[in-house]
């Protein structure tokens, strides 16, 4: 009996038992030392980046910007109000990103693109209001777009995909570091820069010094030009009826007092000029940073090969 019992025990040991199925998601993973551990579970739900609070504020800015462009030809007061609110929300989306911990690269790009596009649209209108100064406004558009695009591209290429365009070392540029890291400085420069262009927009409807068409009248009693702010064209592509509410608002706009816009322009002009200087510095620094990377890349690749062949 003991021998039979021993053989049965040996057979039980040698015969592999049927493995018990492991529930899905609890599989055991063997590491290199033979010990087992469970993989980390993905407890975080899938987030919809496009519905983050800062991005929702960004969408609201776009809607307000389009509304301001719609009223821009005829409603200077309405347009200025909508445009100003859109610009002020630029500070709110950053606060929301920090408060809700929803800072994203999509939100950063959305914010920058919205800023560049709204400013460019306003400068395009100013170019049509004062054709003699169109080349200045075109230059400001080009400088704004080029400096920010090259700066962001240089940051991604040289600093890495995880580096923000606002992370500027003091060794590279103390002024840019102060501009991007100090929230008060950044807000003041951006706000007064836009305020100067809004003041110029209002002056195109109120100041005969900048818009002589407000005083130029032909023999038939109508203005001799169709420039913005001129009573000669109380209609637009959006409001074809000359007796519409838009036309009446347009007539009232020609009677605006230019004192307040002149005060706004005088206060914001120095800051606007400083903002353009910062754009120039940003453009030059970004180009030099890219050039440093190009030199390192060419040195690592053994370029230029022609000079080495000539030396040999």
Spatial separation of the C-alpha atoms in residues 283 and 176, rounded to whole Å: 11
- Burial bucket for residue 153 (CB in 10 Å: 0-12, 13-18, 19+): middle
- Of the candidates 243, 245, 265, the one whose C-alpha atom is nearest the C-alpha of residue 197 is 265
Catalytic residue status for 115: yes
- Of the candidates 184, 160, 178, the one whose C-alpha atom is nearest the C-alpha of residue 278 is 178
Strands (DSSP E) along 85-225, which ranges?
none
* Polymer length in residues for the chain: 312
Q: Which of 115, 169, 171, 257 is catalytic?
A: 115
* C-alpha triplet 196, 199, 201: angle, nearest 5°: 115
Q: Is 217 left (phi over 0), alpha (psi -120 to 50) or beta?
A: beta
Given a contact cutoff of 8 angstroms between Cβ atoms, the answer to whether 254 and 214 are in contact is yes
Catalytic positions, please?
115
């Amino acid at each position: 009996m003991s021998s039979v019992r021993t053989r049965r025990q040996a057979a039980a040991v040698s015969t592999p038992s049927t493995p018990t199925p492991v529930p899905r998601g609890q599989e055991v993973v063997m590491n290199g030392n033979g010990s087992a551990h469970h993989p980390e579970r993905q407890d975080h739900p899938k987030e919809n980046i496009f519905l983050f609070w800062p991005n929702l504020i960004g969408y609201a800015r776009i809607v307000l910007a389009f509304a301001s462009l719609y009223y821009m030809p005829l409603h200077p007061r309405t347009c200025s109000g909508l445009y100003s609110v859109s610009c002020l929300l630029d500070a709110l989306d950053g606060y929301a990103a920090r408060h809700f911990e929803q800072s994203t690269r999509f939100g950063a790009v959305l914010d920058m693109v919205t800023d560049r596009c709204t400013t460019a649209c306003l400068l395009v209108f100013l170019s049509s209001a004062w054709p003699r100064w169109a080349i200045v406004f075109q230059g400001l558009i080009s400088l704004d777009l080029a400096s920010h695009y090259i700066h962001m591209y240089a940051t991604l290429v040289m600093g890495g995909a995880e580096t923000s365009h606002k992370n500027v070392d003091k060794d590279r540029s103390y002024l840019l570091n102060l501009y991007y890291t100090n929230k008060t400085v950044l807000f003041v420069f951006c706000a007064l820069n836009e305020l100067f262009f809004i003041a110029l927009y209002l002056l195109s409807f109120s100041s005969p010094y900048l818009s002589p068409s407000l005083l130029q009248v032909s023999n038939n009693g109508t203005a001799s030009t169709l420039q913005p702010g001129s009573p000669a064209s109380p209609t637009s592509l959006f409001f074809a009826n000359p007796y519409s509410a838009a036309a009446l608002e347009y007539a009232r706009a020609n009677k605006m007092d230019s004192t307040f816009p002149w005060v706004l322009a005088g206060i914001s002009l120095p800051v606007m000029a400083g903002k353009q200087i910062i754009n120039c510095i940003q453009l030059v620094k970004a180009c030099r940073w890219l050039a440093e990377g190009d030199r390192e890349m060419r040195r690592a690749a053994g370029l230029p090969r022609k000079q080495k062949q000539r030396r040999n």
